[in-house]
Every structure is written in C-alpha cells, then in structure tokens.
Homo-oligomer: A and B are copies of this chain.
Amino acid sequence: MSRLDSYIRRMQAQKLCLDQAARMIGRRPGPVLELGFGNGRTYDHLREHFPGRAIYVFDRQLNPHPDCIPPADLVRLGDFRETLPRFLDEAPEPAVLIHADIGTGDKIASLRLARDLTPTLVHLLAPGGLLTGDQPMNDAELEALPLPEGVQPDRYHLYRRKA
C-alpha cells in the first residue's frame, strides 16, 4: 500500500466516522468542537453535516481556504493544552461531538498529546456525547463504540461519554 492509498483510507475513515457521528447525534442540540483545523476540509464537512450548530475551532494557527473561514468568536488559537482547559473555564454548553484530528509526523508525541487531553475532552462532552479522532483516547468515562464498516481499528477512533 502506497502513501497515496494510505492517505485515501485515512480520509475515508474520517468521513465515515464523522457521518456516523452525525447520524447518531441527529437533532440533539449542542455545539461541535473541531480540534486541528489543518486545511479546513473536515471543518467544511462538519458544517455540512451539522448545519445550524456552533462549531468551535481549536488550532495553533489557522490558514483557512477562502470559502472556509470560521466565525472569529468560535475560534480558540493556541496550544490545545492551554486552550482546552481555558475553554472548560468558559463553562460552555456541553459538546455533542468533539473531533480531534491532532496527529503530527511524531507518532509518540501525538499519542502523548491525545492521552494528556482526554480528561479535559471528556469533561467538555455532554453525557452521551461523541468523541472521534485519529488517536486512541481511552478513559473510564468513555465507551469505545464499534467503528463504521470500512474503518480499520487502528486508523480512527470513536467513543461515547457514558451517561
């Protein structure tokens, strides 16, 4: 499998997990958190599948595609390790979905970052809210859900906050 094949599979896994999350959440109200803006592609996908919801964006920097500029009041710039606890202090409405596409080339650093953020992410979620992303994010308060068909177990992850 080439890097092209691998990248296609990864993006299909993202798409399948986000679409599954949208189906599971349905009309239940609440905001969505997007961790890792990158090119804004998954942000655009979230806008389409979660119309009418506040989608908060977290990243060190934003280089948005012109069609894809998030409203300034929903952006939290800076390192996740600072912006997420700070956001929790804003006492925001509990999130129905957190999408954490946070990996960099450094696999170990990516795993460590996800592990360190997970408790804060759990507390940002509504009971029954969903957490999906490219890293494992295990927690006693999270239940790992079956992945959509076609997604390999190590490629993307999906959890629900226990009610």
Residues of A participating in the B interface, judged by any CB pair closer than 8 Å: 2-5, 7-8, 11-12, 14-15, 18, 39-42, 44-45, 47-49, 65, 67-68
Q: Which listed residue, B8, B18, B42, B68, touches A11 by the CB 8 Å rule?
A: B8
Q: Which residues from B are CB-within-8-Å of A68? A: 3
Residues of B within 8 A of A40 (CB): 3
CB-nearest residue of chain B relative to A2?
A: B45
Identify 19 new A-B residue pairs, CB closer than 8 A, beyond the known A3-B41, A4-B41. A2-B41, A2-B44, A2-B45, A2-B47, A3-B40, A3-B45, A3-B65, A3-B67, A3-B68, A4-B11, A4-B15, A4-B18, A4-B44, A4-B45, A5-B45, A7-B11, A8-B8, A8-B11, A11-B11
